[in-house]
Amino acid sequence: MVALLTLIQDKPGKVGEFLEKDVWGTIKEVLNMGLHIGEGEKSIHITLGLLLLLITAFVVTSYVLKWLRHLLTRKMQGDDKMKFFSIFKFIKYFVYVAVILVTMSAAGIDITILLTASAALFVGLGLALQELFQDVIAGIFIITDKSLLVGDIIEVDGKVVRVFEIKLRTTRAITRDDKVIIIPNHIFLSGTIFSHTQNRDTTRETVNVGVAYGSDVEKVTQILLDCAREHSGVLKSPEPFVLFEDFGDSALLFALKFHVVDSFTTPNVKSELRYKIDKAFRENQVTIPFPQRDVHIYQNDAFQVRQKITQEGKASE
């Protein structure tokens, strides 16, 4: 110990030489220990240092991905977090493969053929699984931006459905006929979707009816309003109202506007209102006309001449 202190005090230049040659040289020798195959450019070296670098890269990658996952999912609910966990597992596998390829290249292994084969494989998979990738990416957007939530009532392909499950690839919903419909998530990105509940829980609905010409329009309006106000499924606020929409070919056209809480059960409410309206119209002698046409026949001179010739022919017989 005293000799080492004396060396440091007397010859500081030799200390650096000692550390460089002995300490660092020993470390390099330990790190270079391993399997050495071949010579020159085609040599392969699998050393202890390379393995330590590979392990360090795996550990750092794992911690970075965990930090990113926590950063992106900290405000998500439990189900959405579980969906993102599977995404990060796939990402982690891809990163691990990239780290292994870099390590193989650093070891002197020619990975050109492997990369070329992988590129061709990925191009084929990309073309074959194009819609699958679109569905997964759309699912990620749906979960992150909350554009669609469980319980939302939407209209897809003319069907009104209630969403009950959102997955990465598909969204499941139930129709008014109690049938399950599976919707690929890319439809929500490429198509137009009508949402009944995105703005608020209530929706405004309409029941159309026509009455005969000559009916008391004020009386008709009051009957329609009374039917809506008496129905338990129609909200009191906003209040229902009636529009006199048009003079139709066979009837005076009215529209009863009202609000409901659950648009998923709207057909039931509309049906019950139509029963009420029909009964009220019968009690108040208001007629709902059926479609009708007036046909006018005009006889021209040629028709009269032909009719006269026909009658003369019959008389001569």
Share of the chain above pLDDT 90, in %: 27
Q: Write down the residue that tokens 């053929």 correspond to.
A: 113
Phi (first) and psi of residue 194, to 5 degrees = -90, 125
DSSP-derived pairing of the beta strands 203-211 and 159-166? unpaired
> Letter for the amino acid at 84?
F
Q: Tens of pLDDT along 217-275? A: 999 999 999 999 999 999 998 999 999 999 988 899 999 999 998 888 889 999 999 99
- Strands (DSSP E) along the chain, which ranges? 34-37, 44-47, 153-156, 159-166, 170-175, 180-184, 194-195, 203-211, 241-247, 252-260
- Give 283's pLDDT tier (boundaries 50, 70, 90): very high
Look at residue 111 and tell me whether its pLDDT is greater than 70: no
Q: Write down the residue that tokens 């338990």 correspond to.
A: 232
The pLDDT value recorded for residue 226 is: 95
> Hey, what are 287's tokens?
């007629």
The pLDDT value recorded for residue 264 is: 86
> Hey, what are 178's tokens?
């109690």
Q: Tens of pLDDT along 159-207? A: 899 998 888 788 999 998 889 999 998 888 887 888 888 777 788 999 9
Q: Write down the residue that tokens 């599977």 correspond to.
A: 86
CA dihedral sign, ordered 267, 268, 272, 278: positive
Of 223, 228, 230, residue with least CA distance to 259: 228
Higher pLDDT, 230 or 23: 230
Q: In the CATH scheme, what is the code of domain 146-195?
A: 2.30.30.60
> Letter for the amino acid at 280?
A
User: Would you mind telling me the total number of residues written for the chain in this entry?
Assistant: 317
CB atoms under 10 Å from CB of 314, counted, come to: 8
The pLDDT value recorded for residue 168 is: 79
**Cα dihedral 119/124/126/130 (nearest 10):** 170
Higher pLDDT, 96 or 287: 287
- Give 298's pLDDT tier (boundaries 50, 70, 90): low
Map out the domains of the chain as residue ranges. Answer: 23-35+43-128, 146-195, 203-283
Share of the chain above pLDDT 70, in %: 65
The pLDDT value recorded for residue 245 is: 94
Q: In the CATH scheme, what is the code of domain 203-283?
A: 3.30.70.100
Higher pLDDT, 119 or 253: 253
Identify the helix (H) or strand (E) that includes residue 109.
Answer: none
Q: How far is CA 43 from CA 28, 132, 279, in A?
A: 19, 42, 96
Q: Do the beta carbons of residue 300 and residue 260 sit within 8 Å?
A: no
Q: Do the beta carbons of residue 207 and residue 225 sit within 8 Å?
A: no
Do you find a cis peptide bond into 238, omega within 30 degrees of 0? yes
Higher pLDDT, 37 or 218: 218
Query: Is the pTM for the entire model greater than 0.85?
Result: no
The pLDDT value recorded for residue 279 is: 94
